[in-house]
Structure 1
Amino acid sequence: MRNLILSAALVSASLFGMTAQAAEPLEAGKQYVELSSAVPVAVPGKIEVVELFWYGCPHCFAFEPTINPWAEKLPADVNFVRIPAMFGGIWNVHGQLFITLEAMGVENKVHKAVFQAIHDGKKLATPEEMAEFLTGEGIDKDKFLSTYNSFAVKGKVEDAKKKAQAYQISGVPTMVVNGKYRFDLGTSGGPEGTLNVADQLIAKERAANAKN
C-alpha cells in the first residue's frame, strides 16, 4: 500500500501540470496498455468504461469534477462502471462501503458526500462510523448495516478484487476500456488527457463492432 501511495505521489508532481494533447495519435505501450487477455464486460453488447478508484485517494478525489460530467454525457452504447480498488486494510473497508451503497441503489445519491467526508478528515473506518455518517445523508442505518454484512455484498467484494487483478492495476485512478485497454492519468497526460484517451478507445471499439 505504501508503494502505491508513493507511486501516486511521484506521478502527481507532473500529471496535473500537463496539458492534454488531443491531436496526438494513440499508441499501445505509450498512452495505454493493451491487456494480454480481455476481461469480460458487465453488459455484453455495450462498450464498457471502468474507473478503478479509492475513496481515500487524493488524485481520485481531484479527478471527480472532470470525470463526472464526462460520464454523465456518454452515449447509450457505453456503460460506465466504477470499481473500488482493494489492496488491503482501509482500501478494502472503503471498497465494501462503495459496493454496499451500490447494492442499496443509493451510490449516486451519496457518492460525492462520502468522498468529500473522507477528504475532510472523517475516517469512515468501521461500518458503524459509516452508518452514523450516512444517517445524516438520509440513508437508513439498519438497512445499511445489514447490507454491508450481507453475503451478496461480500460476494461482490470478491468479484471486484478479481477484476482489479485481471486488469493488472498497480494504483489509482486507473481506467479500462472494454476490458482490453488500461491507462491512467500519468500515461495519458492528466485528467483531460485521460478522458481524451478514453474517447478515442471508445471510438476504436465502436468501429470494430461495426465491422463485425
Structure 2
Amino acid sequence: MKSSSIVLRFVSAALLTGAAAFVPVMAQSGPAFKTLNTAQPSGSGDKVEVMEFFAYSCPHCADMEPMVEEWVKTLPANVAFIRVPVAFNAAMQPMQQLYYSLEALDKLDLHPKVFNAIHKEGKKLFTKDAIIDWAATQGIDKAAFTAAFDSFGVTAKVKRATEMTDTYAIEGTPSFAIGGKYVTSPGMTGDYASSITQAQKLLDQVLAEKK
C-alpha cells in the first residue's frame, strides 16, 4: 500500500498530465514527523528556518494555503519562513520558475492567486507560455516577467529548490521542514490542522534549544 505522502506526490503529477486524480482522506499510519540524519544549516543567519515544500499543482497545498498564511503571521521575528516550490518531474519546473519570478518582481501577493487560478478557475498554468499569459492578466509586463522567468537568478533558485527537496527527502506536498532537523506533513499527522500543530511543536522545541 502506498503511503499518504507518496499518494500526495502522485496527485500533483497527475494534475499535470491530465490523469484522473484521486484525493484520499489522509490518515496517520506512522510517526508524526521524521528527523534528518544530518541537520542542515540555516541560510537565514541566526534565524530558525521553517520551510514549506509545496507545488502549485497540489490540491492539498491549495487547500492549506489560507491556514499556512494565518500560521505565518504568528511566527516570531527570529523565525524565517521560506517557501520551496517542488518539482517531482521536469513538467513541474515551470511552476518553480513561476514562484521565483513572482519573488524576483516583488509580486508574491499573487502567490495565493496562482492556486485559485489552477484549482478554482481551471487554468492550466503548467507551461511557460500559459504562465506568462496569466501573469500579464495580473498586470505584470510580459517582457519583465519573461526576463525574470529566464534569468540566471531564477534558474539558480530552481536548482537550489530541487536540491533541498532531495536533501530533506520530500516525498509529498505540502511538507514542512523545521530548523533544518525535522520534517512533518499532513500525510504524517493525518490532516491539515494537525500538521501545522506538529510543525509548531517542533519549532517551539528548536527555539527552546537555542536559548
TM-score of the aligned structures, taking structure 2 as reference length = 0.85
Against the structure 1 CA distance between its residues 181 and 144, is the aligned structure 2 distance closer, same or farther, given a 3 Å change threshold?
same
Deviation, structure 1 residue 7: 9.7
DSSP-derived class of the 2:123 partner = coil
Q: Is the 8 A contact 2:12 2:58 kept in 1?
A: no
What amino acid is the match of 1:123? K
Range with greater deviation from structure 2 (39-48 or 171-180): 39-48
Residues 45-194 of structure 1 aligned to structure 2 (within 5 Å): 45-107=46-108, 109-119=109-119, 120-194=121-195
DSSP-derived class of the 2:103 partner = helix
Against the structure 1 CA distance between its residues 89 and 7, is the aligned structure 2 distance closer, same or farther, given a 3 Å change threshold?
closer
State the match for 1:202 in structure 2: 203
DSSP-derived class of the 1:13 partner = coil
What amino acid is the match of 2:83? R
Which of 10, 14, 18 is matched with 2:26 structurally?
14
DSSP-derived class of the 2:200 partner = helix
Task: Give the whole-Å Cα distance in 1 for the aligned partners of 2:140 and 2:203.
Answer: 35
Q: Is the 8 A contact 2:33 2:188 kept in 1?
A: yes
DSSP-derived class of the 1:133 partner = helix
TM-score of the aligned structures, taking structure 1 as reference length = 0.85
Deviation, structure 1 residue 90: 2.8
DSSP-derived class of the 1:93 partner = helix
Structure 2: which 5+ runs fail to align?
1-5, 14-20
Q: Is the 8 A contact 1:11 1:186 kept in 2?
A: no
State the match for 1:23 in structure 2: none
What amino acid is the match of 2:118? I
Deviation, structure 1 residue 42: 2.3
Task: Give the whole-Å Cα distance in 2 for the aligned partners of 1:63 and 1:91.
Answer: 20
Q: Is the 8 A contact 2:12 2:59 kept in 1?
A: no
Q: Is the 8 A contact 2:85 2:96 kept in 1?
A: yes
Deviation, structure 1 residue 147: 0.8
Range with greater deviation from structure 2 (181-190 or 3-12): 3-12
Task: Give the whole-Å Cα distance in 2 for the aligned partners of 1:104 and 1:124.
Answer: 18
Q: Is the 8 A contact 1:51 1:174 kept in 2?
A: yes
DSSP-derived class of the 2:122 partner = coil
What per-residue deviation string (whole Å, max 9, x for no partner) do you get for residues 121-157 of structure 1? Answer: 1112332221221122121211000110111111111
Q: Which runs of 4+ in 1 moved over 6 A?
A: 7-11
DSSP-derived class of the 2:49 partner = strand
Against the structure 1 CA distance between its residues 145 and 75, is the aligned structure 2 distance closer, same or farther, given a 3 Å change threshold?
same
Q: Is the 8 A contact 1:173 1:184 kept in 2?
A: yes
Task: Give the whole-Å Cα distance in 2 for the aligned partners of 1:198 and 1:55.
Answer: 21
Task: Give the whole-Å Cα distance in 1 for the aligned partners of 2:152 and 2:57.
Answer: 25
Task: Give the whole-Å Cα distance in 1 for the aligned partners of 2:47 and 2:99.
Answer: 23
Deviation, structure 1 residue 88: 1.5
Structure 1: which 5+ runs fail to align?
19-28
Matched length: 196
The alignment yields a C-alpha RMSD, in angstroms, of: 2.2
Range with greater deviation from structure 2 (171-180 or 135-144): 135-144
Q: Is the 8 A contact 2:11 2:58 kept in 1?
A: no
